[in-house]
Homo-oligomer: A and B are copies of this chain.
Amino acid sequence: MVTFDEIQQASRTLDGVAHRTPLLHSSTFNRLTGSEVWFKAENFQRIGAFKFRGAYNKISSLNAAEKRRGVIAHSSGNHAQGVALASKLLGVRAVVVMPEDSVLSKVEATRTYGAEVVFCGKEFDDRARLTAELQARYGYVLVHPYDDPKVIAGQGTVGLEILQELPNLEYLLVPVGGGGLIAGSSIAAKRLKPTVKVIGVETEHANDAYQSFRAGKIIRIDRADTIADGIRPLSLGSLNFEIIRQFVDDIITVSDDDVIAMMQFFLERTKTLVEPTGAVAAAALSKNKLSISGKTMCAVISGGNVDMRGLKALL
């Protein structure tokens, strides 16, 4: 399990390294929803997503011998960049396994931060297989994208900052992929305000967490067909699921169309670029999926990394 103290420790580790991202609001959105809504803007985080927090917290926790061995991660997206930048800042060698059909800009960004990119096949399982192989051969330390206490504690600083700045918060909405962000954030939020409701949000064709929450056990889906790439992990991590069962109040879903409409709203109204996964939690509010109003709410914008070609296709 991960404790509140470990999240506070992560917050000290990240102080001056990660950005303390702003809480945005939109009077138009408040009028539309009838609530007081805040957006935690992790699209303004270093590397453009919250993933930097967990990666840095994990890698900085390694001992000298582990740091000399270097780290390995597999990711097609933000975790790759988070591990690459964190490693560079900490002087640790990083290898990132990416699918051969990754978006070129994400590969380039990962390399720009100094990581070595190794390509694998397109199937999700290919990544883990090659990563394990390289790990065994070269002794690299794995930086898991979500199923790791240090990663969860790092992501939990998102929830910590929100409740520090919004002590009267009533609802916290968080997108759910592997579950790192919501696990850490729910621990922090519930400790600072036990009555806050923490709601996970997925897209409807990638709803493994929704199913798992209801079944009381981890459900793995066969495919995750969604525009929100951060929601695509086919199942929750086991550590993440245990925390979610304990601290999360519900998991709900939105459609991909809801997500695209929300991205456009962010662009038009707040002049900010939000990636599909980053718009998932806010979309649940714009569609009033909780059927409530008059509350103080915060939706986490998990990131803002959108390929320009991908953005063009969405407009």
Chain A residues with CB under 8 Å of chain B are 43-44, 48, 105, 264, 267-268, 270-274, 304, 308-309, 311-312, 315
Contacts and interface: CB of A to CB of B under 8 A. Distances in A.
A271 B105 CA distance: 15
* Most chain B CB within a 10 A radius of its CB, from A270, A311, A315: A315
A77 B304 CA distance: 28
Nearest to A308: B315
B308 A268 contact: yes
Contacts of A264: 308
15 contacts: A44-B271, A48-B271, A105-B268, A264-B308, A267-B273, A267-B308, A267-B311, A271-B274, A271-B304, A272-B273, A273-B273, A308-B315, A309-B315, A311-B315, A312-B315
A227 to B, nearest CB: 16
Contacts of A308: 264, 267-268, 315
Contacts of A312: 312, 315
A206 to B, nearest CB: 24
A148 B271 CA distance: 29
Contacts of A315: 308-309, 311-312, 315
